[in-house]
């Protein structure tokens, strides 16, 4: 009797496992990553959202300096028609001072670049630049490389250790959830690339070297959500904390330390669906650069 019970239990376990997997063999983590890297070539359009927060604190000679940087991005990219539209809001808050905020819109449409910047002092200011055919080719390639949110995530995958930790839906799409353990310098470079589109790549933050980071105290968490049917990256989350001394930054004669806590949340969706990138009417009155 006991043998029959054990045999029946085994059948039930196998059946439940088969049902849970949908009757299909699941890909390995490496197969998912390989598929994600290859899927980059199949991307024609997508929409994106991203928010970033960065808390910075430094202590030196008894003085403490603090700042909080916040950024929000949203937009759409159409590679076939060479169109880009995006909105950015950035803020910097320092204790004891008025918070600074800037808004920006940027568009690339029909060989012309448009940009709007808004501050409390200036209000909205629209500028535009018309490109020659050669300039347009160079501008489009450089801009899409700089502003792409998907490519940095895939570059991170190429150098990281990874594992599949579950399945979740993102905007109704079934996804594999990957946990990454990347090279620390590659992770910092990815954060800097995704933190600075449209800002000339410079937020006044330190350009950490491998030696700096090796001497720093670092902790991080990196996750990616990859669509099961297309292998497109649908979502990414990065949390990173760095604490570093003046000596580790190359100033052995000085005392003090700094900390940088960063959080990035990214969504990329509506892949290869028609996107609407419309130039605001005010942009028609933009002044030439």
Residue 250 predicted with pLDDT over 80: no
Looking at the structure of the chain, the number of domains it has is 1
Is residue 266 in some structural domain?
yes
2 lies in some domain:
no
In a domain, 8, yes or no: no
pLDDT at 212 over 80: yes
Domain extent for 256: 28-288
Structure-model confidence comparison of residues 186 and 251, the more confident one: 186
Residue 238 domain-assigned?
yes
The answer as to whether 139 is a domain residue is yes
The per-residue pLDDT for range 80-100, each reduced to its tens digit, is 999 999 999 999 999 888 888
Residue listed under structure tokens 């649908």: 234
Distance of alpha carbon 3 from alpha carbon 137, whole angstroms: 73
* Six-digit token string for 51: 């928010």
Position 214 in a domain:
yes
Tell me, yes or no, whether 275 lies in a domain: yes
- Asked if residue 20 is part of any domain, the answer here is no
Q: What is the pLDDT, as a whole number, of residue 197?
A: 57
pLDDT for the residue numbered 272: 96
pLDDT band at 10 (very low <50, low <70, confident <90, very high): very low
**pLDDT at res. 19:** 34
For residues 120 and 136, what is the distance between their CA atoms, to the nearest angstrom?
A: 32
pLDDT digits (tens, 9 = 90+) for 267-289: 999 999 999 899 999 988 888 87
pLDDT of res. 99: 85
Residues 6+ apart with CB under 8 A from 83: 76, 77, 107, 108, 109, 275, 277
User: In CATH, what number is assigned to the domain containing residue 175?
Assistant: 2.50.20.20
- Give 254 or 135, the one with higher predicted confidence: 135
Given a contact cutoff of 8 angstroms between Cβ atoms, the answer to whether 160 and 181 are in contact is: yes
Task: Calculate mean pLDDT across residues 223-241.
Answer: 96
């Amino acid at each position: 009797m006991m043998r029959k019970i054990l045999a029946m239990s085994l059948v039930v376990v196998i059946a439940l496992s088969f049902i849970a997997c949908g009757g299909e063999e699941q890909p390995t983590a490496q197969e998912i990553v390989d598929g994600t890297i290859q899927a980059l070539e199949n991307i024609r359009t997508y929409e994106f959202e991203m928010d970033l927060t960065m808390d910075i604190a430094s202590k030196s000679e008894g003085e403490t300096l603090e700042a909080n940087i916040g950024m929000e991005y949203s937009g759409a990219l159409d590679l076939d028609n060479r169109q880009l539209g995006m909105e950015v809001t950035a803020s910097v808050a320092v204790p004891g001072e008025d918070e600074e905020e800037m808004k920006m819109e940027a568009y690339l449409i029909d060989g012309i670049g448009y940009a709007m910047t808004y501050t409390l002092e200036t209000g909205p200011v629209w500028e535009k630049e018309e490109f020659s055919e050669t300039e347009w080719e160079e501008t489009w390639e450089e801009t899409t490389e700089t502003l792409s949110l998907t490519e940095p995530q895939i570059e991170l995958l190429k150098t990281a250790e990874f594992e599949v930790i579950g399945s979740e839906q993102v905007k109704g799409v079934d996804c594999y959830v990957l946990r990454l353990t990347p090279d620390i310098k590659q992770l910092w470079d990815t954060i800097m690339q995704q933190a600075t589109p449209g800002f000339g790549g410079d937020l006044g933050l330190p350009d950490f070297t491998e030696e700096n980071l090796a001497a720093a105290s670092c902790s991080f968490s990196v996750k990616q959500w990859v669509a099961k049917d297309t292998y497109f990256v649908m979502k990414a989350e990065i949390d990173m904390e760095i604490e570093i001394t003046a000596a580790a930054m190359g100033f052995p004669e000085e005392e003090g330390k700094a900390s940088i806590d960063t959080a990035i949340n990214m969504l990329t969706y509506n892949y290869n669906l028609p996107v609407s990138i419309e130039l605001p009417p005010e942009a028609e009155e933009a002044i030439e650069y």
